[in-house]
């Protein structure tokens, strides 16, 4: 099955890809409530999920935390990683 894109959502909702982006990101421009509902319905119908890698590249933020431990087999480090 082909990956569902923002273009697919826009086509089904009858909007531009920019409007789909505004709905997904809550801005930067307002979207009329009826249009927002059409976009959300299209997202649900197509089971669209935003591409997190593309979002990270565009925003230059990954929202990930790296953790380096000397020995992951030690219970202390496992508990510490779980706490983080």
Per-residue pLDDT of the chain (84 residues; tens, 9 = 90+): 688 999 999 999 999 999 999 999 888 899 999 999 999 999 999 999 988 888 888 888 888 888 898 887 888 988 888 888
> Does residue 1 fall inside a structural domain?
no
> Does residue 74 fall inside a structural domain?
yes
Domain that holds residue 48: 6-83
> Does residue 41 fall inside a structural domain?
yes
Distance CA(8)–CA(50), nearest Å, equals 12
**pTM (2 decimals)?**
0.68
CATH of the domain at 58: 1.10.260.40
The total number of structural domains that make up the chain: 1
Q: At what angle do helices 6-13 and 33-46 cross, to 10 degrees?
A: 130
Q: In Å, how far are 72, 76, 78, 79 from 43, measured between CA atoms?
A: 40, 43, 38, 38
């Amino acid at each position: 099955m082909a990956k569902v894109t923002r273009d697919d959502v826009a086509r089904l909702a009858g909007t531009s890809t920019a409007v789909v982006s505004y709905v997904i990101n809550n801005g930067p421009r307002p979207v009329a409530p009826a249009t927002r509902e059409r976009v959300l319905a299209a997202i649900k119908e197509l089971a669209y999920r935003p591409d997190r890698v593309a979002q990270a590249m565009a925003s230059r933020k990954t929202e990930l935390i790296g953790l380096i431990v000397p020995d992951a087999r030690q219970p202390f480090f496992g508990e510490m990683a779980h706490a983080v």
